[in-house]
Chains A and B, each alone.
Chain A
Amino acid sequence: MICSIGPATAVVWGISQWNRVAEHGGTTFRLPWAPGLGLTFDFRLDGFGLLMLALVSGVGLLIFGYSRWYFADGPRLGRFAAILTVFSGAMLGLIVADNLLALFVFWELTSITSYLLIGFDDDKAAARAAALQAMLITGAGGLFMLAGFVILGQAAGTYSLFEILAAPPAGGSVGVALALVLVGAVTKSAQVPFHSWLPSAMAAPTPVSAYLHSAAMVMAGVYLVARLSPAFAPHHLFWQPALITIGLGTMLLGGYRALRQTDLKLLLAHGTVSQLGFMTALVGAGVPELTFAGAALILAHGVFKAALFMVVGAIDNHRGTRDLRRLHQLSREMPGTFVVATIAVASMVGLPPTLGFLAKESAFEASLGFAPAIAGVVVVGSVITFAYSARFLWGAFSSKPDAVAPETSPGGRASEWPLLVPAGILALSTVVLGLATGVTSRLVQVAARALDSASGGELYLWHGFNVPLAMSGATILAGVLLFAARKHVETWQSRVRPALGSQQVFESSLRGLNRVADRTTGLVQTGSLPAYLGVIFLTAVLLPGWALVGNSLPLALTLDASPLQLAVAGQVAAVGLALAVIRRRFIAVLLLGAVGFGVAVLFLVWGAPDLALTQILVETLTLVIFVLVLRHLPERFEPVRWRAGNGIRALISIVVGLFVTGFALIASQERAGINATAIEYLERSVPEAGGQNVVNVILTDFRAFDTLGEIAVLCVAAMGIASLVLAGRGSEPGELPDER
């Protein structure tokens, strides 16, 4: 319940910003991140952002309430709510981010949280595989998009999304950049040919599907396309045809696949793929009227699809199955759910007086004005939509004499109401928004105008007898016919199977990738320690050593050291020599420690207590850890036999020794005295950071970003060590030692 504070705040804030957005076009907020690198978190909320915010936070709020009842048991709810909160935050960030790189970060955050949410039932292999599939496809798309963003940002000279849109850069590289960004958008919004992850993702708990896979995450791609289209579609000829083809193709394919699903949730998933295609085509054209219709459809779709997923969750919860062949006479058992589902379906197929009807009429009208051929495809898509929607309603609620005997619900709740209320609110709003055409028109207008200032339009419940109305009528008629012929459609579909599905392509490419990785690893990782060390040493000698060649050694070397320094240096050198001949591992480790302590004393003599202290502590800890590992190794080193390889090894060690000596001499020559940076640090330490210990001030203040990065690396290293050791021990992967 506490988690719903986040989306609730966002809703309230969004409403409070309405006037500023509607009148002045937007509101901005700036948060510097690393201004030295030109990285800032710039946020900007405009009309379209507000529409998305209303969807993401409004639906999100209801989803939190729904989840509260869906996960009746405690511990799972906590974990779920935590991830879902992170997700909704990332999604909000995505739709208000102005900086392209910040947008990318939020984009990837939604991918990661979606991975965790889809694989929420982590004891099921299918859920884990589906989560991985979604992660790989959207993640790979994200990488393409990042490359596109960087090219775009370099070409425009700014990473601000709105500045780029206001003055779109031109040139050949921009076309490439847009194509790359498009890959990201298309994968995220499950467009053909990357749509396979969305139906797989139905392995997620139903609240996840109702949120991520209807109103939130899958909308990210549509959102980005909608943002970019008005600015770039007129200048790049590939943009409009590509998006319209992909979008409409997805619309038809998704609908076609939805016609034969027997799992209600999968039916909805394929339907979502279809609707996403529709939206992509509308907003991707970059034409003002289509953009307006697209914005209306985005709003309508988010509301009714979330409601329908919630209904499926309620049915699943009640009956323990989502298979429409086993559901029988549910309209009598769950009358409230039936009503809600009917309203939502009416909106999905575009029946008056729902929001879906307004959106669909507007889409018909706009596409007719744009190109009649496209309007024709849209009608065909809508007919299929009608048929699968009718199939959904029929499958879920009707009395089917041939249904398999209904099961009694395992652990189902007696009352349908707790799960019904959030869905009911959505169904109610789809009707209210459908009736209050003035308000809805205004909302969509502001959103569309934010995308394209030339955009505009009105939403009507009734605008006389005209072609769009006839198209709606024809859609309904043909849809009824297609639904009536469902038996034939199913048999035909099961006979005509595509030779190569997107799912198979994904699976085989994954197998191929694994094979390549196997072979590369086998080739590169020989498992021979001398070989690894040889490569590391040679690289160290060759690359920095090459740079040293040009430098001259200091000619006049003066020996300037106190007796103590000389003594310590002599001790370190002697221990180093002893190390080379020692045979017992334990003694060797102790001697290594002696070298380290000797160096620490040298640091101390030079007046660097922080460094010396750190060196001593690290040396101590390393010794202990060495001893822990030593128990697995033989007591003595293997006796050295004279072989051909030994010559090479000796050569490498001599070269490394020479390199290190030369490096030390030249480096000490370069760093004579205190350089300017050090002086600046020393001068600014007390007045600016209020600290006398400049080493600590550098760590926590001047270079705090580095330190933050380092402790993050420490955390990652800790996870790596734990999982490596545990995996070697044969524990279950993912089981940390403290989970007992």
Chain B
Amino acid sequence: MNGDRSLIFKTSVGLIFHTAVLFAFYLLFAGHNTPGGGFIGGLVAGAAFVLRYLDSGTEGIWATLWRPGVLLGFGLSLAVVAGATGWMGGGEFLEHTAYSADLPVLGTLKVTTALFFDIGVFLVVVGLVRLVLSVLGEEAEE
């Protein structure tokens, strides 16, 4: 798989990968009000990793910072912790609260604890895609 890769493909993957991940983050953060959210964002980031895989095989998947197992575990824990913050406000588990702050340059910034729950979903989806790619891809390479 490594020998005859097209240079054009390789270069464009290099360009697109980071843009796609950035877009995934946009979808994740904008998801509460416009189309998007943790699941969709995770899938976009997963697709970016697919490109990475097509370019450089499982090597490319492993070259990134976090291992799939860590992503899965951390994501699930984050979702649970975000849910547990509902208790701190005297509410129920998974009851979200919204905070807003007026920042000097950026304008009004609104954050709900649902966002952290969604980040957890995002991480789990990315972790799953990467795990499947690497496990099945490694097998295919052999």
- Known interface pairs A628-B137, A705-B94, A721-B135; A715-B124 also in contact (CB < 8 Å): yes
B 112-130 to A, binary, CB cutoff 8 A, 1 in contact else 0: 1010011011001101110
- Known interface pairs A617-B44, A617-B47, A690-B32; A704-B139 also in contact (CB < 8 Å): no
Chain A residue nearest in CB terms to B114? A700
Residue from B93, B98, B124 within 8 A of A714 (CB atoms): B124
Once the chains bind, are B138 and A737 in contact (CB under 8 Å)? yes
| Assembly CA distance A714 to B76 (angstroms) | 10
A 704-716 to B, binary, CB cutoff 8 A, 1 in contact else 0: 1101100110110
- Known interface pairs A620-B47, A691-B32, A707-B121; A696-B37 also in contact (CB < 8 Å): yes
Once the chains bind, are B140 and A610 in contact (CB under 8 Å)? no
- Known interface pairs A620-B47, A700-B118, A725-B135; A715-B35 also in contact (CB < 8 Å): no
Chain A residue nearest in CB terms to B45? A617
Once the chains bind, are A621 and B46 in contact (CB under 8 Å)? yes
Once the chains bind, are B37 and A699 in contact (CB under 8 Å)? yes
Residue from B67, B75, B114, B118 within 8 A of A738 (CB atoms): B67
Residue from B44, B96, B125, B140 within 8 A of A628 (CB atoms): B140
Interface residues of A in 694-740 (CB under 8 A from B): 695-697, 699-701, 704-705, 707-708, 711-712, 714-715, 717-718, 721-722, 725-726, 728-729, 736-738
Once the chains bind, are A737 and B135 in contact (CB under 8 Å)? yes
| Assembly CA distance A689 to B114 (angstroms) | 9
Residue from A35, A621, A697 within 8 A of B50 (CB atoms): A621
Once the chains bind, are A699 and B83 in contact (CB under 8 Å)? no
Once the chains bind, are A693 and B36 in contact (CB under 8 Å)? yes
Kindly state whether residue A33 has any CB partner on chain B within 8 Å.
Answer: yes
Chain B residue nearest in CB terms to A610? B35
| Assembly CA distance A705 to B93 (angstroms) | 9
Residue from A621, A693, A722 within 8 A of B131 (CB atoms): A722
Chain A residues positioned under 8 Å from B46 (CB to CB): 617, 621
| Assembly CA distance A625 to B137 (angstroms) | 8
Chain B residues positioned under 8 Å from A693 (CB to CB): 31-37
Kindly state whether residue A629 has any CB partner on chain B within 8 Å.
Answer: yes
- Known interface pairs A689-B114, A701-B114, A714-B124; A613-B94 also in contact (CB < 8 Å): no
Residue from B39, B92, B98, B120 having most chain A Cβ neighbours under 10 A? B39
Once the chains bind, are A610 and B36 in contact (CB under 8 Å)? yes
A477 to chain B, nearest CB (A): 59
A585 to chain B, nearest CB (A): 15
Once the chains bind, are A617 and B94 in contact (CB under 8 Å)? no
| Assembly CA distance A422 to B31 (angstroms) | 54
Residue from B37, B125, B139 within 8 A of A725 (CB atoms): B139
| Assembly CA distance A715 to B54 (angstroms) | 24
Once the chains bind, are B50 and A690 in contact (CB under 8 Å)? no
Once the chains bind, are A721 and B132 in contact (CB under 8 Å)? yes
B20 to chain A, nearest CB (A): 11
| Assembly CA distance A705 to B110 (angstroms) | 23
| Assembly CA distance A699 to B110 (angstroms) | 19
Kindly state whether residue A624 has any CB partner on chain B within 8 Å.
Answer: yes
Interface residues of A in 373-405 (CB under 8 A from B): none
Chain B residues positioned under 8 Å from A502 (CB to CB): none
B130 to chain A, nearest CB (A): 9
Residue from B69, B110, B140 within 8 A of A736 (CB atoms): B69
Once the chains bind, are B32 and A624 in contact (CB under 8 Å)? no
Chain A residues positioned under 8 Å from B62 (CB to CB): 738
Chain A residues positioned under 8 Å from B76 (CB to CB): 711-712, 715
Chain A residues positioned under 8 Å from B125 (CB to CB): 711, 714
A631 to chain B, nearest CB (A): 5
Once the chains bind, are B131 and A721 in contact (CB under 8 Å)? yes
Chain A residues positioned under 8 Å from B35 (CB to CB): 609-610, 613, 693, 695
Kindly state whether residue A550 has any CB partner on chain B within 8 Å.
Answer: no
Once the chains bind, are B131 and A31 in contact (CB under 8 Å)? no
Kindly state whether residue B13 has any CB partner on chain A within 8 Å.
Answer: no
Chain A at the B interface: mostly helix, strand, loop or mixed? helix
Once the chains bind, are B67 and A689 in contact (CB under 8 Å)? no
Once the chains bind, are A614 and B32 in contact (CB under 8 Å)? no
Kindly state whether residue B14 has any CB partner on chain A within 8 Å.
Answer: no
Kindly state whether residue A237 has any CB partner on chain B within 8 Å.
Answer: no
Kindly state whether residue A453 has any CB partner on chain B within 8 Å.
Answer: no
B134 to chain A, nearest CB (A): 6
Once the chains bind, are B114 and A691 in contact (CB under 8 Å)? yes
A691 to chain B, nearest CB (A): 4
| Assembly CA distance A34 to B95 (angstroms) | 11
- Known interface pairs A617-B47, A691-B112, A721-B132; A31-B87 also in contact (CB < 8 Å): yes
| Assembly CA distance A518 to B79 (angstroms) | 39
Kindly state whether residue B22 has any CB partner on chain A within 8 Å.
Answer: no
Once the chains bind, are B80 and A708 in contact (CB under 8 Å)? yes
Chain A residues positioned under 8 Å from B40 (CB to CB): 610, 613-614, 617
Residue from A34, A618, A624, A689 within 8 A of B112 (CB atoms): A689
B2 to chain A, nearest CB (A): 15
- Known interface pairs A32-B93, A715-B73; A610-B37 also in contact (CB < 8 Å): yes
| Assembly CA distance A704 to B85 (angstroms) | 14
Kindly state whether residue B43 has any CB partner on chain A within 8 Å.
Answer: yes
Chain A residues positioned under 8 Å from B75 (CB to CB): 711
Chain A residue nearest in CB terms to B66? A738
B 12-56 to A, binary, CB cutoff 8 A, 1 in contact else 0: 000000000000000000011111111110011011001001100
B47 to chain A, nearest CB (A): 6
B132 to chain A, nearest CB (A): 6
Residue from A609, A618, A708 having most chain B Cβ neighbours under 10 A? A708
Once the chains bind, are A696 and B72 in contact (CB under 8 Å)? no
| Assembly CA distance A700 to B112 (angstroms) | 10
Chain A residues positioned under 8 Å from B87 (CB to CB): 31-32
Once the chains bind, are B96 and A700 in contact (CB under 8 Å)? yes
| Assembly CA distance A625 to B133 (angstroms) | 7
- Known interface pairs A621-B47, A714-B124, A737-B135; A34-B39 also in contact (CB < 8 Å): no
Kindly state whether residue A692 has any CB partner on chain B within 8 Å.
Answer: yes
- Known interface pairs A618-B43, A708-B80; A718-B32 also in contact (CB < 8 Å): no
Chain A residues positioned under 8 Å from B33 (CB to CB): 691-693
- Known interface pairs A631-B140, A689-B114; A738-B121 also in contact (CB < 8 Å): no
| Assembly CA distance A620 to B69 (angstroms) | 23
Once the chains bind, are A708 and B94 in contact (CB under 8 Å)? yes
B64 to chain A, nearest CB (A): 11
Chain A residues positioned under 8 Å from B110 (CB to CB): 690
| Assembly CA distance A696 to B75 (angstroms) | 17
Chain B residue nearest in CB terms to A725? B135
Chain A residues positioned under 8 Å from B127 (CB to CB): 715, 718
Chain B residues positioned under 8 Å from A714 (CB to CB): 72, 124-125, 128
Once the chains bind, are A620 and B131 in contact (CB under 8 Å)? no
Chain B residues positioned under 8 Å from A609 (CB to CB): 35
| Assembly CA distance A621 to B32 (angstroms) | 24
| Assembly CA distance A477 to B124 (angstroms) | 66
| Assembly CA distance A721 to B67 (angstroms) | 16
Once the chains bind, are B83 and A704 in contact (CB under 8 Å)? yes
A contacts, CB < 8 Å to B: 31-35, 609-610, 613-614, 617-618, 620-621, 624-625, 628-629, 631-632, 689-693, 695-697, 699-701, 704-705, 707-708, 711-712, 714-715, 717-718, 721-722, 725-726, 728-729, 736-738
9 CB-based A-B contacts, threshold 8 Å: A34-B93, A610-B40, A613-B40, A620-B50, A628-B140, A629-B136, A690-B110, A705-B94, A725-B139
Ranked nearest first, the 8 interchain pairs of A and B with the lowest CB-CB distance are A617-B43, A692-B33, A691-B32, A738-B67, A609-B35, A690-B98, A696-B37, A700-B114
**Can you add 20 more A-B contacts, CB < 8 Å, to A715-B72, A717-B128, A737-B138?**
A610-B37, A617-B46, A618-B43, A621-B129, A624-B50, A625-B132, A628-B139, A689-B96, A690-B112, A693-B34, A696-B118, A697-B114, A699-B38, A700-B114, A701-B96, A704-B94, A705-B94, A725-B139, A726-B135, A738-B62
